[in-house]
Structure 1
Amino acid sequence: MLKSMTGYGRGEALTGNKKFTIELRAVNHRYSEVVLRLPRFLIVLEDRMRRRIQSYVPRGRVDVYLTIEDGTERNRTVKVDKKLALAYYGAITDIQKDLGLSGQISVEHIIAQPEVFSPEETRDNPEEWWPALEQALTAACDDLVGMREAEGASLRSDLEARLDRLGTLSTGIRERAPEVVNAYQARLTQRIQELIRDIDIDRVRLAQEVAYFAERCDIAEELVRLDSHFAQVRACLNGSGEPVGRRLDFLAQEMFREINTIGSKAQDEVIMALVVEFKSELEKTREQIQNIE
């Protein structure tokens, strides 16, 4: 099944008095990139969460947001750094002596200094939270994949319609191609007759010139390769669900190469108009392909 690279997923899980909410936002990216925004004490679980997400999303950028609602009453304590307090006291005393200052050093002077007091609270072991986090993460990934598949189905319908349009333009070019040589022969014959009205035309030389022109503007090989690319694109759209975005992008580049060659060789206004329309439609098709996983 075709999948888009954009999407959103959300999952929740409860454990004790804690509620975990994980949100995933996915956007286009050439490779796989997972950006997690976790509290510092959960960094130990970051690699595990990244691998889990990448098992669901092999291509694209995924931003991960975690919200923790904790209803547990925590016992908070205050830690006193006595060595630091003594160091502050000694430093203030030295300054008094060096500068000849008077006055008493009070406890307020000491406790006002940074990091003398620091609050502490007991933290749970992150490993104990993993089962609930895993549950929320799995739910978010399932939700994300579901949205990417739904958007992928819309992309597939759009791409199939555009592919039909490109096929129609290719058919128009194929039908017009034989007319190019005939039109050139008629123009060349008329031009020669206008220049040498009373002299017989060398039919052999004329045939050689027309044959040379026909060889120079032959686009049969390019049209065959275009048909092959069309078939490969349809095979990707009807594939088993493996990521095909890069392959489709490559095929689009190859179609651009073939249609540019056709435009340079055709030397015909009708074919050039079809080529311009083909390239415009192909550019829109490639923009859509950029959204495919």
Structure 2
Amino acid sequence: MLLSMTGYGVAQRETEHYTVVVEIKSLNSKGLDLSLRMPRSLAGSELELRNLVGRHLVRGKVNVSIDLNRPAAVRSRASLHRETLTAAYHELLSIAQELGAPTDNILELALRLPGVVQSPNEASAADDEPQLTWAELQPIVQEALDRTADFRRTEGQALTTEILSYIDRIRIQLSDVDRHDPTRLENVRRRMHDGLAELAQSDQFNPSRFEQELLYYIEKLDIAEEKVRLVSHLHYFTETVHLPEYSGKKLAFISQEIGREINTIGSKANDSTIQHLVVGMKEELEKIKEQLNNIL
């Protein structure tokens, strides 16, 4: 079964410490064109991330987006800096004792000092971005990759059915060529017979040279070998479609050979009916080539 390079997958994980969303989009490309968008805090995991994506997706224009935040409930809570509070409390207590001032409201005064209690709006961007290790991120990325692969398989199944339908249409048109070929050959014989009768009456007629020319043109008009090779290429194409490994490039090479045989049949046939059938086969082959651009 064929695999499409078009794919999409998303995975999300939320804990009490972080919320992370991994989104993967893939389109067709000659090689692997990987683009990453990720927080700075995950920069240390970029190499592992690239290797993991490259092993699974192989080819395609791939965009990986990672969003990492603290959960909304955590972001909405004010934070208390215990060390700052303790230091401020003891400092105020010491000053109050030196001055002989009341000490019963020292804790309340310490809590009001800047930096002791930080509201959500005062939190810096660095504090709002949690730290996430590769060991925590890897299974989330893997889940998004698995969903992307499922998407590619689904698209590949549809492409397989579509491409094989084009191959079947070429087979049908080739069968029509085969059925019409005896009529074509009979027409060729009749034209040659009429030409022979006229040529034999000429004073400059050379039987030996004529025989050589006749054999040459008969060979050029014969399309039997091209028909056999085309049938073989179509069979090989169908077999390759069902191979377990990635076969997009191999199918592209086979389609070139199919096109070569179709063109040769058209150039040698010298028959309007077969020319029309050849045009139809070329049209189906172009559809195949267009779809193969998205095959892995």
TM above 0.5? yes
Q: Please report how far the alpha carbon of residue 125 of structure 1 lies from its aligned counterpart in structure 2 after TM superposition.
A: 8.1
Give the structure 2 partner of residue 14 of structure 1: 14
Taking only the aligned residue pairs, the percentage that are identical comes to 33
SS in 1 for 2:30: coil
SS in 2 for 1:151: helix
* Structure 1 range deviating more: 190-199 or 276-285: 190-199
Give the structure 2 partner of residue 51 of structure 1: 51
Give the structure 1 partner of residue 271 of structure 2: 268
- Identify which of 210, 218, 221 aligns with 2:222: 218
Is structure 2 residue 4 aligned with structure 1 residue 4?
Answer: yes
Q: Which aligned pairs between 1:1-293 and structure 2 lie closer than 5 A?
A: 1-71=1-71, 72-73=74-75, 121=126, 126=131, 128-193=132-197, 210-240=214-244, 242-293=245-296
CA gap 1:248/1:267 in 2 versus in 1, 3 angstroms: same
Give, in whole Å, the separation in 1 of the partners of 2:206 and 2:272: 28
Q: Please report how far the alpha carbon of residue 277 of structure 1 lies from its aligned counterpart in structure 2 after TM superposition.
A: 0.8
Q: Please report how far the alpha carbon of residue 39 of structure 1 lies from its aligned counterpart in structure 2 after TM superposition.
A: 2.0
Give, in whole Å, the separation in 2 of the partners of 1:287 and 1:196: 53
Give, in whole Å, the separation in 2 of the partners of 1:286 and 1:36: 30
Partners of 2:6 and 2:27 within 8 A in 1: yes
CA RMSD of aligned residues (A): 3.0
Give the structure 2 partner of residue 113 of structure 1: none
Give, in whole Å, the separation in 2 of the partners of 1:20 and 1:68: 4
* Structure 1 range deviating more: 250-259 or 141-150: 250-259
CA gap 1:181/1:227 in 2 versus in 1, 3 angstroms: same
For 2:54, give the aligned amino acid: Q
For 1:261, give the aligned amino acid: T
Partners of 2:19 and 2:69 within 8 A in 1: yes
Q: Please report how far the alpha carbon of residue 273 of structure 1 lies from its aligned counterpart in structure 2 after TM superposition.
A: 1.0
SS in 2 for 1:17: coil
Give, in whole Å, the separation in 2 of the partners of 1:204 and 1:70: 94
Q: Please report how far the alpha carbon of residue 193 of structure 1 lies from its aligned counterpart in structure 2 after TM superposition.
A: 4.6
For 1:289, give the aligned amino acid: L
CA gap 1:219/1:192 in 2 versus in 1, 3 angstroms: closer
TM-score (norm 2): 0.74
TM-score (norm 1): 0.74
Give, in whole Å, the separation in 2 of the partners of 1:44 and 1:214: 71
Q: Please report how far the alpha carbon of residue 255 of structure 1 lies from its aligned counterpart in structure 2 after TM superposition.
A: 1.2
For 2:269, give the aligned amino acid: A
For 1:288, give the aligned amino acid: Q
Q: Please report how far the alpha carbon of residue 141 of structure 1 lies from its aligned counterpart in structure 2 after TM superposition.
A: 0.7
Q: Please report how far the alpha carbon of residue 251 of structure 1 lies from its aligned counterpart in structure 2 after TM superposition.
A: 1.0
Q: Structure 1: which 5+ runs fail to align?
A: 78-118
Q: Please report how far the alpha carbon of residue 58 of structure 1 lies from its aligned counterpart in structure 2 after TM superposition.
A: 1.4
Give, in whole Å, the separation in 2 of the partners of 1:249 and 1:198: 53
Partners of 2:24 and 2:65 within 8 A in 1: yes
For 2:247, give the aligned amino acid: V
For 1:284, give the aligned amino acid: K
Q: Please report how far the alpha carbon of residue 143 of structure 1 lies from its aligned counterpart in structure 2 after TM superposition.
A: 0.8
Partners of 2:68 and 2:129 within 8 A in 1: no
Give, in whole Å, the separation in 2 of the partners of 1:176 and 1:206: 28
SS in 1 for 2:3: coil
Q: Structure 2: which 5+ runs fail to align?
A: 82-123
Q: Please report how far the alpha carbon of residue 132 of structure 1 lies from its aligned counterpart in structure 2 after TM superposition.
A: 3.0
Q: Please report how far the alpha carbon of residue 49 of structure 1 lies from its aligned counterpart in structure 2 after TM superposition.
A: 0.9
SS in 2 for 1:221: helix
Q: Please report how far the alpha carbon of residue 123 of structure 1 lies from its aligned counterpart in structure 2 after TM superposition.
A: 8.2
* Structure 1 range deviating more: 281-290 or 213-222: 213-222
Q: Please report how far the alpha carbon of residue 195 of structure 1 lies from its aligned counterpart in structure 2 after TM superposition.
A: 7.8
CA gap 1:195/1:243 in 2 versus in 1, 3 angstroms: closer
CA gap 1:121/1:19 in 2 versus in 1, 3 angstroms: closer
Q: Please report how far the alpha carbon of residue 172 of structure 1 lies from its aligned counterpart in structure 2 after TM superposition.
A: 2.0
Give, in whole Å, the separation in 2 of the partners of 1:139 and 1:217: 59
**Matched residues, number:** 249
Q: Please report how far the alpha carbon of residue 203 of structure 1 lies from its aligned counterpart in structure 2 after TM superposition.
A: 9.6
* Structure 1 range deviating more: 12-21 or 24-33: 12-21
